[in-house]
C-alpha cells in the first residue's frame, strides 16, 4: 500500500494537479491511521520472534548482506540516513544505467531514530539486547544520544562473525559527514578491493531534515513533501554518493543500499506530560511516568516487550503516531507554531517505518 501511495504521489506531482494531490494526502492519512493501529497491535509480537514478522532493522544484514559475503562477493553496504521510500523511487532510475537493481523492503524498529534503528541494523540486535551485550558502550553514551552511534564498525564486525562468516583481512567502515569525506570515498573505491565488506553511512539527508527546522530559507525551499522529494532528486544527481556508486559499478562488487528510518511532516501538535529529564525528541519521548493522548501516540510501559532498554521502575516511552509531534503544555502555542510542518522522525508512520533495501549488481 505504501509503495502504491508513493508511486501515485510521484505521478501526481508530475501532473501538478492540486485536487488529486489533496485526495492522495487524505488517502495517506487514512492509511497511517490504520498503520498506527496495526503496529500497536502486532509490533510486540514481532519482537517476541513470532513467525509472521516482516524483515526488521535487525534482519537487514542477515537477509541482504551476509548471503553475498558467503558467496565470496565484495559488498558495499551503504546506509543513507533518513531516506524515505518515495525519495529512493526518484533516485533509482538515475542508477538503472549502471546497475541491475532489485528492490526489497524492511521495517525500522521503534523508535524510528538513529540511536535505535541504525544500531539495530549494524548489530543485528534490538536496543535492549545491545544494552545488555555492550553495556559499557551503551550506558556511557546514554547521556548523549549522538554518541550512541560511534560503535557501528564493531557492531557489524561482531554480527557477521557471530553468523560464522570470516572476513579476511577484516572490514572497512566510513562515515560520510561532509563533502570532503564524500569525495575522498569516491577516489578510494578502486583501492578498497581488498576489503570483503565496506560499510558506509551517509548523513546528508538527516542533516537536511534537521537543518530545515532551523532555517527559514530551507523551509521556503522545501515547504512540502513534493518539494522535499524534488530537492533530494536534484541533490543525488549532483552528489558524491552518485559518483561513488558509479565508481563501484566499474567493479564486480554488489551494493546493498538501505536506510535506518524515514521522516514525516509533523502537522498536528499533541500534548505530552513528563519531567525535565525527559528526552527532547518531538516524535518520541522516554523518561519516567510520561503521559500523552492515547489516540495520538503508542504508550510503552513495558520497554523490554518492545525490544527497548528499561531505565528502571516507572520508565516508559511514548511514540507519536501518524503526523503528530509532541509539545509540552507550557508554552504550547509557541512550540506548536515553531515545529508545525517540520520534518521529523522517531514515530510510527508508513514514511518512517517502511523502508527500501536496494540490491544493486553492476551491469
For the chain, domains (ranges, CATH) are: 2-264+348-362 (3.40.720)
The CA–CA distances, whole Å, from 202 to 90, 109, 305 equal 18, 19, 31
The whole-number pLDDT of residue 186 equals: 95
CA 118/CA 185 separation, integer angstroms: 21
The whole-number pLDDT of residue 222 equals: 84
The whole-number pLDDT of residue 140 equals: 56
The whole-number pLDDT of residue 159 equals: 98
Query: Contact 303/316 with Cβ under 8 angstroms?
Result: yes
Ordered DSSP codes for 171-212: EEEEEE-SHHHHHHHHHHGGGGTT-SEEEEEE-HHHHHHHHH
| Residue-level pLDDT, tens digit, the chain, 363 residues | 999 999 999 999 998 888 898 899 999 999 999 999 999 999 999 999 777 899 999 999 999 999 999 999 999 999 999 999 999 999 999 999 999 999 999 999 999 999 999 999 999 999 999 999 998 776 655 555 555 678 999 999 999 999 999 999 999 999 998 889 999 999 999 999 999 999 999 988 877 777 776 777 888 888 888 989 998 999 999 999 999 999 999 999 999 999 999 999 999 999 999 877 778 889 999 988 899 999 999 999 999 999 999 877 778 999 999 999 999 888 889 888 888 888 999 999 999 999 999 999 999
**Which one-letter DSSP state was computed for residue 224?**
S
The whole-number pLDDT of residue 101 equals: 98
Backbone angles phi, psi at 256, to 5 degrees: -115, 110
The whole-number pLDDT of residue 148 equals: 66
The whole-number pLDDT of residue 26 equals: 93
The whole-number pLDDT of residue 139 equals: 64
Query: Contact 77/199 with Cβ under 8 angstroms?
Result: yes
Q: Nearest 5 degrees, angle CA 87-CA 90-CA 93?
A: 140
The CA–CA distances, whole Å, from 179 to 33, 84, 184, 196, 238 equal 39, 22, 8, 25, 12
Whole-model pTM over 0.75: yes
**Which one-letter DSSP state was computed for residue 249?**
T
The whole-number pLDDT of residue 279 equals: 81
Q: Which residues contact 114 (CB under 8 A, 6 or more apart)?
A: 81, 145, 148, 149, 206, 260, 261
pLDDT digits (tens, 9 = 90+) for 172-186: 999 998 889 999 999
Amino acid at each position: 500500500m505504501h509503495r502504491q501511495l508513493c508511486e501515485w504521489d510521484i505521478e501526481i506531482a508530475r501532473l501538478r494537479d492540486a485536487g488529486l494531490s489533496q485526495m492522495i494526502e487524505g488517502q495517506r492519512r487514512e492509511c497511517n491511521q490504520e498503520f498506527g493501529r496495526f503496529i500497536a497491535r502486532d509490533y510486540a509480537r514481532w519482537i517476541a520472534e513470532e513467525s509472521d514478522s516482516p524483515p526488521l532493522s535487525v534482519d537487514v544484514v542477515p537477509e541482504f548482506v551476509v548471503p553475498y559475503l558467503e558467496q565470496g562477493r565484495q559488498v558495499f553496504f551503504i546506509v543513507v540516513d533518513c531516506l524515505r521510500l518515495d525519495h529512493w523511487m526518484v533516485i533509482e532510475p538515475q542508477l538503472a544505467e549502471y546497475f541491475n537493481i532489485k528492490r526489497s523492503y524492511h521495517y525500522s524498529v521503534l523508535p524510528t531514530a538513529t540511536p535505535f534503528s541504525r544500531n539495530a541494523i549494524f548489530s543485528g540486535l534490538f536496543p535492549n539486547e545491545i544494552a545488555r551485550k555492550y553495556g559499557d558502550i551503551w550506558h556511557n553514551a546514554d547521556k548523549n544520544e549522538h554518541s550512541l552511534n560511534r560503535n557501528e564498525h564493531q557492531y557489524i564486525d561482531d554480527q557477521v562473525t557471530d553468523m560464522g562468516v570470516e572476513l579476511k583481512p577484516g572490514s572497512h567502515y566510513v562515515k560520510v559527514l561532509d563533502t570532503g569525506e564524500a569525495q575522498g570515498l569516491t577516489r578510494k573505491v578502486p583501492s578498497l578491493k581488498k576489503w570483503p565488506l565496506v560499510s558506509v553511512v551517509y548523513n546528508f539527508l538527516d542533516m537536511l531534515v534537521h537543518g530545515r527546522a532551523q532555517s527559514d530559507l530551507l523551509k521556503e525551499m522545501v515547504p512540502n513533501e513534493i518539494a522535499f522529494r524534488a530537492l533530494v532528486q536534484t541533490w543525488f544527481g549532483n552528489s558524491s554518493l552518485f559518483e561513488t556508486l558509479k565508481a563501484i559499478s566499474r567493479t564486480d562488487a554488489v551494493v546493498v543500499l538501505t536506510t535506518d528510518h524515514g521522516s514525516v511532516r509533523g502537522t498536528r501538535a499533541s500534548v505530552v506530560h513528563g519531567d525535565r529529564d525527559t528526552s527532547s525528541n518531538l516524535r518520541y519521548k522516554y523518561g519516567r511516568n510520561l503521559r500523552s493522548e492515547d489516540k495520538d501516540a503508542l504508550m510503552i510501559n513495558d520497554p523490554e516487550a518492545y525490544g527497548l532498554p528499561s531505565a528502571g521502575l516507572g520508565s516508559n516511552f511514548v511514540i507519536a503516531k501518524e503526523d503528530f509531534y509532541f509539545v509540552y503544555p507550557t508554552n504550547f502555542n509557541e512550540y506548536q507554531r515553531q515545529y508545525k510542518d517540520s520534518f521529523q522522525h522517531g514515530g510510527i508512520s508508513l514514511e518512517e517505518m517502511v523502508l527500501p533495501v536496494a540490491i544493486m549488481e553492476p551491469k
